[in-house]
Structures are given as C-alpha cells and as structure tokens.
Amino acid sequence: MEKLIGSKKFTKLKTAIFISGSGSNFHNLIKFSITKKSPIKITYVISNNSKAKGLCFAKKFKISFKIFRFRNKIRDEKEILINLKKRKIDLICLAGFMKILSKNFIKKFDGKILNIHPSLLPKYKGLNTHLRAIRNNEKFSGCTVHFVNSKLDSGKIILQKKVRISKKDTPNTLAKKVLKQEHILYPKALTKLFSNP
C-alpha cells in the first residue's frame, strides 16, 4: 500500500467503483472525488446488475460503466481485469457490491481493494447485518471500511463508526442510520489512506 501511496503522491488515484444496487455510497464518492482534496478520481464503474439504480449516477456524471452479470465468474473476472488494466486503474472501491470476488482476482489487486460493510466488523460479517444485530439486542451497530482479502469481510480495518441502536429500531431504520454514517466514513477512510499530510 505504501508503494501505491508513494508512487501516486501527486496524482489522484484512478479508481473503479463496483456496485450492485441503489449506489448511494457511489453517488457520495463521486461528490467527494470531485472535490480538490480528494485523493481519488473515479474513472470506471462495474455493476453485476444492469438494473442497479446506481448506474444513473454513472450516466449523470459521465463515468464509463460496464455490466458483468457474473454468471460465469471466471470469465467475467478475467474480462474485468483486462478492462481495469487498460484503464490503468489503481484502486477498487466496493460500494454495495453483492458478489464475492475470487481469491485470484483479489491477488491481482492485492492491497488495492476497499469495501464498506454495514456492521462493526468483526461482528456480523455477511448479509442481514442489521436484523442480526437487533435480534442479538446489541446496543451499537455501525459501519466499517476495510481492505478486501480472500476471506469475506475479514481484511484489515481502516476506519469504523459506531451507531447507537434504539429500542424502536427496525432493520430498516437502523440501515438508514448506518448508511448516513457510511457516507461520511468512506471518504474519511480514503483521505486517511491516501492524502498527503
């Protein structure tokens, strides 16, 4: 990672965002990326879902995007890697991307893939985090930005933000509260990792 930071000290990191759904984190990262202080420039978007609402932001901000359905994961990942190389992508940010990338893919971008997860990792890896946190009577949940390694939601943690769970919270209301914090946390994590002091 240090190498990446060192070699790209004065230019914004060419970043690809991977999405699957509503893309609110993606939208938020676009807004962040066009600020002067941002260490990233978003130049490519991958979605596994052609109906992902988030794709409207790629269109609105004229960012190239491509759909890979992951029906044949090996073939699609190979194609994605070719595209990322062609576009000289430095960094991948997963933002609500619902497919699990293979070990081989992750190895090719070792230390250069980040993810945001809606729980206080290592608690509640995987899906349905809010429902599980509420059922377990947790007092807090939150979100985590972490590096992606070959084990699901287990890479090194970069930043976390706690969110209080109230007695009235449902998985939906908690998701909204956590999402709001995700939008603050992802840019903060990128700044922490890549901005010059």
* Residues recognised as catalytic: 117
Based on the shown chain and the rule CB under 6 A, indicate whether residue 116 belongs to the binding site for ligand GRF.
Answer: yes
Q: Of the ranges 15-23, 39-47, 71-79, 134-142, which one interacts with ligand GRF (CB under 6 A)?
A: 15-23
Q: Quick one: how far is CA 190 from the chain centroid?
A: 11
- Residue entry with tokens 């807004």: 31
| Alpha carbons 185 and 161: distance in angstroms, whole number | 7
Based on the shown chain and the rule CB under 6 A, indicate whether residue 21 belongs to the binding site for ligand GRF.
Answer: yes
Q: Of the ranges 9-17, 70-78, 116-124, 154-162, which one interacts with ligand GRF (CB under 6 A)?
A: 116-124
Q: Of the ranges 10-18, 84-92, 113-121, 146-154, which one interacts with ligand GRF (CB under 6 A)?
A: 113-121
Residue whose CB is nearest to ligand GRF in the complex, by number: 96
Q: Please report the sign of the dihedral spanned by the C-alpha atoms of residue 36, residue 39, residue 43, residue 46.
A: negative
Based on the shown chain and the rule CB under 6 A, indicate whether residue 174 belongs to the binding site for ligand GRF.
Answer: no
Which residue, 96 or 155, is less far from ligand GRF as judged by CB?
Answer: 96
Cβ 182 to ligand GRF shortest distance, Å: 5
Based on the shown chain and the rule CB under 6 A, indicate whether residue 17 belongs to the binding site for ligand GRF.
Answer: no
Based on the shown chain and the rule CB under 6 A, indicate whether residue 45 belongs to the binding site for ligand GRF.
Answer: no
Based on the shown chain and the rule CB under 6 A, indicate whether residue 118 belongs to the binding site for ligand GRF.
Answer: yes
140 beta partners: 164
Based on the shown chain and the rule CB under 6 A, indicate whether residue 177 belongs to the binding site for ligand GRF.
Answer: no
Q: Cβ-count burial of 189 within 10 angstroms (0-12 exposed, 13-18 middle, 19+ buried)? A: buried
Query: In the complex, which residues of this chain contact ligand GRF (CB under 6 A)?
Result: 21-26, 54, 95-96, 116-118, 179, 182
